[in-house]
């Protein structure tokens, strides 16, 4: 887990001392990702820079790592959990190794197998390999997008790649040189609460998409999708349920075991739900001294802390809980937004920042439960196609009647949303777990919005692929989430906020072997038609591992009392953000202030309005940092020990 930066010149350019100095300076922007070591390597065509967080082969495996007598140089961010098995396979094929780490397995595999090495990598990764003989580069990003990789073209024609966007902004010369704010990205952000891949909030910077590889030859970038998630639901043979659940438990256990591989201490996040509890229980098998971490807010009605502590006691693991005040929450937000690179309007980012900071005092790696919901069918919204099955059987005239009736029912009246959703095709109504603004609400906040731009522009291609594959509605929703919500929100915050604290987060659910079995489950083993269960097969598989109280509990996911904060202790703070912001080019300041006032004056503050205000606040803070350069967050120097 580290931070990489690669500058690749065009044929017309050659690297000089100034170029190397500029890359080294930009590399400082991602020093928090790897405080243990910083190295640069260059030739006439490239500069490769690397900040290392040493976790495997701590004394060896320096990067940029050479291979094949210096023919290749690789910079690699991530972990390959099957690296020991790969090294043996490569040795049998004639490969030689000078290190004991996982980085060399990637480049040795590239040397022997070419692009075929990428599907063999069981882990999270973003890497760039430079071939000094051919003057070309090859790289790839992992299947689900756990590790990020940004790219841009500089004024001199050179291509740059980095683990974080802020390093590219440094090389480009600031926000204006990066093309300024992308209006489409802003509009999508206000709808989805994140900027969808491959875009960023800057027009001139893009992301290499999850599950793709790329080559750079003669200055031209070419990308290829190497992984396309495929769901192949298969019926469970009569009486075969227990064998299925045992197999799920076995595969997940193997994934956790491999994710525990490190030459440093590995801990685990622990919330109130089954996902993190299952991971912690399995990890405890491989580390009897496992330490778990959770976070909550002072005087919070719904908190993870008590339940997580109870689970930790039952599991027999050491547990470290922390609580955050409203003022600490507000004070941390500018730094959190700086670490993010692009705005993500998920308030859970902030408590994650605090629990990661605390965890880094004890361990260097943590496991977490991200991905379980998308793979095993865990979101409550996945039950909607079952509850609306009656509507899909109506003729077109019946659905039109429902739509007309929904327009007659006042907004907020019980049943109005049900009628509206029942009369709307899945492709139009579902675009992920964040549905913060209707069209009229978006128009009020963003007066200059493009009426031709829609969330369907983001999701339409994925729905076409899902329908072509014959997926039912539940599976189609999961498929869409793999390309949108998972990689746009969940994994962005998982990577950026833990790495802000020089802490590696590993996600055993997002493993090829786990996905293989999860993607084969029939829909009734994910969201049964009867009852209100989700992740049914996973819950059954973990029944002997997870405490009974957690088995069917709805997880909170580090909940944040955003509405209470904005209506109460953080109201004036929020007003100050709005009034000081220089975003009138984009946003209606008066409308945002009106929403804030509605929160304060309401007897029960609206969570929906609070989410909308929060989205705007995060963008305004982002704009103040990266565009106006008016807000200067305090970013501490990473001063963590090399080994923990």
Task: For residue range 219-269, list pLDDT tens digits in order.
Answer: 999 999 999 999 999 999 989 999 999 999 999 999 999 999 999 999 999
Element (H, E) at 46: strand 46-52
Better-predicted residue by pLDDT, 637 or 184: 184
Could you say which of 2, 159, 178, 592 is catalytic? 2
Q: Name 525's Cβ contacts closer than 8 Å, sequence gap at least 6.
A: 236, 244, 536, 537
Does 543 score more than 70 pLDDT? yes
SS3 label, residue 340: helix
For position 558, what pLDDT does the model report?
66
Kindly report which listed range (133-142, 487-496, 602-611, 625-634) carries the lowest average pLDDT score: 602-611
d(CA 410, CA 408): 6
d(CA 247, CA 251): 6
Q: 368 among the known binding-site residues? A: yes
Paired strand residues for 128:
75, 139
DSSP string, 94-106: T---SSSSSHHHH
DSSP string, 200-239: -SBTTEEEPPTTEEEEEETTEEEEEE---------PPPTT
Q: Name 590's Cβ contacts closer than 8 Å, sequence gap at least 6.
A: none
Each residue's pLDDT tens digit, 34-72 = 999 999 999 999 999 999 999 998 889 999 999 999 999
User: What is the value of pTM for the model shown?
Assistant: 0.95
Q: What does residue 583 show for φ and ψ, rounded to 5 degrees? A: -115, 20
Q: What does residue 78 show for φ and ψ, rounded to 5 degrees? A: 140, -160
Q: Where are the beta strands (DSSP E) in 395-519?
A: 504-506
Q: What does residue 451 show for φ and ψ, rounded to 5 degrees? A: -65, -15
Q: 369 among the known binding-site residues? A: yes
SS3 label, residue 444: helix
Does 444 score more than 90 pLDDT? yes
Each residue's pLDDT tens digit, 107-141 = 999 999 999 999 999 999 999 999 999 999 999 99
Mean pLDDT of all residues belonging to the chain: 92
Q: 448 among the known binding-site residues? A: no
Each residue's pLDDT tens digit, 292-310 = 999 988 766 556 788 889 8
For position 551, what pLDDT does the model report?
76
For position 642, what pLDDT does the model report?
37
For position 76, what pLDDT does the model report?
98
For position 422, what pLDDT does the model report?
74
Paired strand residues for 220:
217
Q: 102 among the known binding-site residues? A: yes
The question of whether 2 is a catalytic residue gets the answer: yes
For position 433, what pLDDT does the model report?
79
For position 643, what pLDDT does the model report?
44
Percent of the chain surpassing pLDDT 70: 94
Strands 205-207 and 150-153: antiparallel
Long-range pairs for 560-565: beta carbons < 8 A, 24 or more residues apart: 560/297, 560/329, 560/347, 560/348, 560/350, 560/351, 561/297, 561/300, 561/301, 562/347, 562/607, 562/610, 562/611, 562/614, 563/599, 563/605, 563/606, 563/607, 563/609, 563/610, 564/605, 565/326, 565/329, 565/330
**Of 627, 593, 30, which Cα lies nearest the Cα of 343?**
627
Using 50, 70 and 90 to split pLDDT, how confident is the model at 85? very high
For position 302, what pLDDT does the model report?
57
Domains defined along the chain, listed by start: 2-225 (3.60.20.10), 241-378+490-551 (3.40.50.620), 382-436+448-482 (no CATH)
Does 16 score more than 70 pLDDT? yes
d(CA 439, CA 428): 12
d(CA 462, CA 507): 24
d(CA 5, CA 15): 15
């Amino acid at each position: 887990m580290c931070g990489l930066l690669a500058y690749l010149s065009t044929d017309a350019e050659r690297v000089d001392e100034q170029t190397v100095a500029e890359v080294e300076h930009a590399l400082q922007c991602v020093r928090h990702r790897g405080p243990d070591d910083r190295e640069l390597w260059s030739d006439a065509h490239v500069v490769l820079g690397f900040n290392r967080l040493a976790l495997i082969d701590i004394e060896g495996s320096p990067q940029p790592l050479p291979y094949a007598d210096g023919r290749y140089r690789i910079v690699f961010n991530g972990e390959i959990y099957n690296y020991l098995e790969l090294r043996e396979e490569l040795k049998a094929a004639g490969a030689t190794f000078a290190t004991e780490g996982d980085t060399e397995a990637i480049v040795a595999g590239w040397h022997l197998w070419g692009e075929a090495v990428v599907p063999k990598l069981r882990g999270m990764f973003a890497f760039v390999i430079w071939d000094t003989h051919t003057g070309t580069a090859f790289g790839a990003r992992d299947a689900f997008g756990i590790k990020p990789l940004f790219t841009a073209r500089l004024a001199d024609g050179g291509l740059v790649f980095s683990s974080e966007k802020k390093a590219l902004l440094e090389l480009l010369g600031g926000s204006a040189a990066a093309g300024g704010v992308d209006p489409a990205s802003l509009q999508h952000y206000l709808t989805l609460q994140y900027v969808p891949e491959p875009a960023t909030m800057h027009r001139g910077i893009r992301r290499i998409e999850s599950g793709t590889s790329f080559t750079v030859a003669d200055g031209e970038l070419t990308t290829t999708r190497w992984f396309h998630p495929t769901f192949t639901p298969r019926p469970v043979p009569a009486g075969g349920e227990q064998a299925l659940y045992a197999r799920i438990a076995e595969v997940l256990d193997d994934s956790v075991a491999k994710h525990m591989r490190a030459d440093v201490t590995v801990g685990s996040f622990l919330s109130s739900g089954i996902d993190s509890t299952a991971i912690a229980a399995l990890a405890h098998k491989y580390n009897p001294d496992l330490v778990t971490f959770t976070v909550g807010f002072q005087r919070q009605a719904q908190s993870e802390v008590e339940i997580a502590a109870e689970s930790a006691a039952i599991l027999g693991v050491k547990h470290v809980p922390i609580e955050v005040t409203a003022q600490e929450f507000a004070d941390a937000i500018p730094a959190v937004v700086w670490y993010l690179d692009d705005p993500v309007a998920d308030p859970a980012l902030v408590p994650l920042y605090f629990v990661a900071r605390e965890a880094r005092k004890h361990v260097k790696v943590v496991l977490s439960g991200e991905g379980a919901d998308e793979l095993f069918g865990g979101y409550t919204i996945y039950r909607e196609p079952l509850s609306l099955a009656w509507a899909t059987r109506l003729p077109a005239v019946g659905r039109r009647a429902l739509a007309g009736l929904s327009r007659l029912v006042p907004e907020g009246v019980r049943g109005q949303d049900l009628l509206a959703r029942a009369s709307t095709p899945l492709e139009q109504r579902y675009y992920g777990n964040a549905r913060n603004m209707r069209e009229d609400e978006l128009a009020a906040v963003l007066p200059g919005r493009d009426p031709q731009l829609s969330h369907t522009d983001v999701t339409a291609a994925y729905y076409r692929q899902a329908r072509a594959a014959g997926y039912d509605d539940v599976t189609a929703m999961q498929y869409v989430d793999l390309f949108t919500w998972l990689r746009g929100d969940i994994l962005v915050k998982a990577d950026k906020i833990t790495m802000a604290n020089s802490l590696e987060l590993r996600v055993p659910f997002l493993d090829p072997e786990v996905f293989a079995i999860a993607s084969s489950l029939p829909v009734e083993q994910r969201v049964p038609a009867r009852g209100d269960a989700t992740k049914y097969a996973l819950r059954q598989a973990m029944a002997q591992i997870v405490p009974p109280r957690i088995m069917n509990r709805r997880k909170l996911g580090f909940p944040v009392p955003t509405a209470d904060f904005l209506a109460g202790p953080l109201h004036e703070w929020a007003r100050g953000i709005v009034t000081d912001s220089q975003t009138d080019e984009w946003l209606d300041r008066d409308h945002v202030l009106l929403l804030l006032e509605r929160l304060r004056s309401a007897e029960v503050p609206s969570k929906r309005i609070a989410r909308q205000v929060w989205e705007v606040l995060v963008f305004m803070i982002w704009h103040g940092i990266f565009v106006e350069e008016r807000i200067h967050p305090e970013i501490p120097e990473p001063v963590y020990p090399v080994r923990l």
